[in-house]
Amino acid sequence: MHSEADWSAAAHQFQQNLSDGWQKAMQAFAGGKPLAGFEGLHQLPSNPLAAITFAPDKLAAVQQAYLKEAAELWNHGIAGAAAGDKRFASEAWGTNPVAAFSAAAYLLNGRTLLGLVEAADTDAKTKARLRFAVEQWMAATAPSNFLALNAEAQKKALETRGESIARGMQNLLADIQQGHVSMTDESQFEVGRNVATTEGAVVFENELFQLIEYKPTTAKVYERPFLVVPPCINKFYILDLQPENSLVKYLVDQGHRTFVVSWRNPDASLEDKTWDDYVEEGALQAIEATREITGAKQINALGFCVGGTILGTALAVLAARGEKPLACATFLTTLLDFSETGVLDLFIDENFVKFREMQMGKGGLLKGQELASTFSFLRPNDLVWNYVVGNYLKGETPPPFDLLYWNSDSTNLPGPMYAWYLRNTYFENNLAKPGKAVVCGEKVDLRKVDLPVYVYGSREDHIVPIGGAYATVNLLPGKKRFVMGASGHIAGVINPPVKKKRSYWTNDKLPKTQPEWLAGATEHPGSWWTDWAAWLKPHAGKQVAAPRRYGKGTAFTAIEPAPGRYVKAKA
């Protein structure tokens, strides 16, 4: 048993280890490299946690809980001690005493370390950083991640006479060659063959994007065309995976003449591109091209994630210029007000932002695989170690899954664009401050973006927290509708009605905060897409005969079939 002095020493050592090793937590099991976006952590003060003390009563409570649970574990065995954790759910863990004890002891140690975090007397952000570092360390050191302790992997090795280990080594070598952990059987997918297959053609391109026009499937279309601005940190075909879950095809089948921006995957030739370029040469150029092709005075548009931030910025620039080419806008899991950004806020401070500006503010690329790794480590058990165990320890090939194939198809970002975005959104929240940010020579004032908007947020989104998505309704002055869907950042959005899955919430009243909104909201079974389609219809204008050809005249002709070559470029 441990004395009070032992626990005080342990608490001091815990503080010292985290203080000395905070930046190293982001490097664990990542080839010695910090995760993308976290490299600047070594610029933090040399001892950022030096001032931390522990509340005596909380420390005593952690001590008593540990001693009690450790005694029970030792005296009564480990039956059921790891219950509820899917990593140790296999029967093999329960029938192997050594493995079962290691799992139970690991979970007890994890709870104790998190208890020490809660006992620390410090500010909320530092405590959140401590919690994140401990969670990363715990995810990486789980006994399930090691063949010597993973009873399930050992059992499979015996049953297959070592074949699972051989396959695991082959999988490891293949993943080393491709540069990332396989989340799905990537050999089963090809862009343009069985993902991104909705029929269309590229009708315009510049060095930043291709504009795809999709072939109508209805005899008549709405007179106002629909433009989709996807995020530039991913490829657009998350919105056009396969016919049964394609938002693009859904739009086309609803009678909307649909255009989609396919961002180029930047290489060295685009390493000096800025946020202004993505707004002026990207969103604004796409809006103008869509209007010219269709002859429409006004169009409707959708922005998804960072694409929504780009679209919102573009609309503010247009408003400052006295132009109003949009009749309505849709924002899906988008941040315009960055006052609530979730876990990503833990790593943003002045030192970090200055480091990134120094590193790539004048030129360079943020590599796509680094960015993808960062987002994966926000959910390490589900998106990293689960596949390490399956692919390498058990020798399994993950099943084909279109969404995870897309997730592995990463994109680069130009350094200057990324550095501006980091400072003016996550760090200083300048888009939400009227006149603070200057884009394309215009002062950004979202209060002047006066048009009907549909705002969607996902309830369990860890990238755009639901409160951050809701904050948009307090920024924009026009008539607004807010809808919340179940699930996360991607699965909540890609929820076609034919699947009859999940649910969504509506409330015609828009109080100041999302919890107040939710308190008065009504839950509906199924997909939010039907609610959105009903909202969009009256903003789409009258119906006219569907066009018989792509583009218009000689200025906008079919350059190549959809999905185009830009989306096929690998990072």
Active site residues: 305
* Cα dihedral 166/172/174/177 (nearest 10): -140
Alpha carbons within 13 angstroms on the beta-carbon side of residue 458 total 23
For residue 419, which of 370, 358, 465 has the smallest C-alpha distance? 358
Element (H, E) at 201: strand 200-205
Give the CA count within 13 Å in the CB-facing half-sphere of 21. 14
Rounded (10°) angle between helices 151-159 and 163-178: 120
3-state secondary structure of 136: helix
| Cβ neighbours of residue 70 closer than 8 Å, sequence gap 6 or more | 108
3-state secondary structure string, 449-499? Answer: CCCCEEEEEECCCCCCCHHHHHCHHHHCCCCEEEEEECCCCCCCCCCCHHH
Q: Residue 352 contacts by C-beta under 8 Å, 6 or more apart in sequence?
A: 40, 41, 43, 44
User: Which one, of 253, 323, 327, lies nearest residue 296 by Cα?
Assistant: 327
Burial (CB count within 10 angstroms: exposed 0-12, middle 13-18, buried 19+), residue 92: middle
| Separation between Cα atoms, residue 279 and residue 441, nearest integer Å | 11
d(CA 412, CA 406): 14
CA distances from 424 to 277, 281, 336, 356, 464 (A): 15, 20, 11, 13, 16
Cβ-based burial of 369 (10 A; exposed 0-12, middle 13-18, buried ≥19): middle
18 with 12: CB under 8 angstroms?
no
How far from 226 is each of 248, 252, 293, 339, 565, CA to CA, in Å?
10, 9, 12, 30, 22
* Cα distance between residue 407 and residue 350, in whole Å: 30
